[in-house]
Structure 1
């Protein structure tokens, strides 16, 4: 049995509510960590829901506590799809004596689950909890890609202590340096200083504005296909989509878009962990809790539709296309099974780094069309530049 001692059981009030649900409901299909029965057997579990009741590093923290009971109630009463995925709700990590104690508990829990090939689905307070999720991978994979669905980049003041709006700066600056790529999805320019926008460019990170994502949600798919950790700030949602205390901006993603994004995260074969953060309960909580429960539903739906199509050793399952842009030869691969595209990034053998697994970069069909029209795809350019650093 893995060491999951930091997790407290799902509250009894939630389990009582679950008892009243239809036998076909989501909550009736879960393996649940309860006070009566203890930690469930994790054999065959694919996804583990974890609550983290930590919000002390939130920018607007004023001492309030919260729980995730209403989210669980909303999730449990949904009906699962025709899934083969086994899901467990492992309960909550409570606030430690210090925030660092909570970070340690989350880091160890995520690490243990990922070692078991279980995807942790972390529900939490402040988004700085992404940092211990990232640190959980220190000894698991050589380099990590993070996708942040947020209206802000969360780079913050790199000289200040970590906060919910500055955790990315800590990830970038703190050893060991395991971050390969950081991508921001749905950012809104007026919430980010020009210095931060310039820094994203300097670091060759990816940033997709809200308008780009809303105009073509499929832009998100190749970004998610290369992600290890996906973190969602509920502040990225437009005010009309959420409850009273959750309202941040009149502009933002709508419910359909965020569910499509979490489904893309689920479909990705590389996504090992998902975090949904910045939940702020209020009296009219039903809408936000319903939205989060549907985001989770679509994430699991995506996992059930995963297809392993990246074995490029078998030339019968892909097509290869070679184009010439200026003096650069670009090599594309298309999966015959799924129709998904990749572009090859030449690995620089003279550089002793950890990037060999990033030599194939997910892309879209239009990237190939751009290359045919003598335009270098932006994703390829940024990845190539990082490879050269």
Structure 2
């Protein structure tokens, strides 16, 4: 059983827990301890575990990831008005080889997915996204992956998998279950033009840092369609993390990244949330803990809704344009928007039923002005490739 490879939460974290108030997360989490073993996961909402594998880091790590430091900061935060059951499964140490670690990450993630439990993975390096993606094999056919990252992480063709090139492995590896990849927060000067061209050629979605920072709500429909959300903490500006040369002066602020994490939590499609590439200092650990808090907060406000299930809860808008007739839906409950995209037949739609693509009100307004939204056009083109 893959869970047997998880080591218990360190005693120093449990000792810290003893002094926390009853309302703290640490007092309301079922924790893997050396004394009591693994917690029962049957009715868990989210399951936290650390992955200390870093051998495929692009910039070699000088020290092991201090997951315990993140736990101490997370446990002291207050448990919200939540119905969630939170479990902490402990940590996965390095296997004999990196592939061994990948295999166990894949097996643990798949086991949690089978139980409809959302894994929150704290990983040393972002290449752990690859085995997380492979965990969906046999569970779900087509996967939407969203990376919150300053880079696209395609790497060079001949480069071995690393934290800067794992996306190439995901795109080329068989079976190919990747339906769409979206990047939130890329910074132009970190990405070769060939990578930008590849994103365009594959009809993937990319949103510049400035574009999202100017209007955070643009991230919501992207995350609403995601199955996996992979956060490279280096997308956050260095001053927010108080640390090293591997971070950029430009990036998301703490407030912005917490808002994005909440959007990810609210999405009822997001099945895995991974946080990678953090540093071992108190400010970084505090911010990571708050990002996780906002994700769990979002999970508690999930509303499972689709325009095809309860038509009374939606307003339908039909917009004729010069080339297409676009159909939009607005939820009367959450004010969220969708648009129909013909010719995409996905596993969750009935035969001959157009797929529903999450969108914004601005997309609807653009269509009213005879401008077909770019996200609609890309999804439409993808269906013919």
Range into which the TM-score falls when normalised by the shorter chain: over 0.9
Q: CA deviation at 1:355?
A: 8.3
Q: 1:232 aligned to 2:231?
A: yes
**Are positions 1:305 and 2:301 aligned together?**
yes
User: Quick check: 1:378 aligned with 2:374?
Assistant: yes
Q: Distance in 2 between matches of 1:101 and 1:324?
A: 54
Equivalence for 2:42: 43
- 1:71 maps to 2:67: no
Distance 1:3 1:95 in 2: 14
Q: Is the 8 A contact 1:56 1:63 kept in 2?
A: no
Cα distance, 1:335 vs structure 2: 1.1
CA contact 2:54–2:61 (8 Å) conserved in 1: no
Structure 2 residue runs without a partner (length 5+): none
Could you tell me how far apart the structure 2 residues matched to 1:207 and 1:344 are?
A: 21
Which of the numbers 346, 353, 360 marks the counterpart of 2:356? 360
Structure 2 residue corresponding to 1:324, chosen from 320, 337, 360: 320
Q: Quote the Cα distance in structure 2 between the aligned partners of 1:142 and 1:348.
A: 14
Aligned partners of 2:237 and 2:252 also within 8 Å: yes
Distance 2:170 2:295 in 1: 25
Kept in 1: contact 2:150–2:187 (CA 8 A)? yes
What is aligned with 2:19?
20
Hey, what does 2:276 align to over in structure 1?
Answer: 277
Seen in structure 2, the aligned counterparts of structure 1 residues 310 and 150 have a Cα distance that, compared at 3 Å, is: same
Whether the 8 Å CA contact 1:6–1:109 is kept in 2: the answer is no
RMSD: 1.6
- Counterpart of 1:253? 252
CA shift, 1:246, in A, is 7.1
Kept after mapping to 2: 8 A contact 1:235/1:248: yes
For residues 44-85 of structure 1, the C-alpha deviation after alignment (integer angstroms, 9 at most, x for no partner) is 210000100011101111563333111000000111111111
Instruction: Give distance in 1, aligned partners of 2:198 and 2:53.
Output: 29
Aligned to 1:289: 285
Show structure 1 runs of 4+ deviating over 6 A.
none
Q: 1:25 to 1:348 in 2, by over 3 A?
A: closer
For 2:21 and 2:244, the matched residues in 1 are separated by 31
TM-score by length of 2: 0.96
TM-superposed CA distance for 1:244, in Å, is 2.1
* Distance in 2 separating the partners of 1:14 and 1:164: 28
TM superposition shift of 1:356: 4.9
* Aligned-partner Cα distance in 2 for 1:80–1:146: 29
CA distance in 2, matches of 1:106, 1:75: 22
Q: Which residue of 2 aligns with 1:334?
A: 330
TM-score (norm 1): 0.95
Figure out how many residues of one structure are paired with residues of the other and give that number: 382
CA 1:356/1:161 → structure 2, altered by over 3 Å: closer, same or farther? farther
Contact 2:236 2:252 in 1 (8 A): yes
Q: Secondary structure at the match of 1:36?
A: coil
Are residues 105 and 348 of structure 1, via their aligned partners in 2, closer, same or farther at CA, if it must alter by over 3 Å?
A: closer
Deviation of 1:158 after TM superposition, in Å, equals: 3.0
The alpha-carbon deviation at position 348 of structure 1 amounts to 5.6
Contact residue 312 and residue 318 of structure 1 kept, 8 A? no
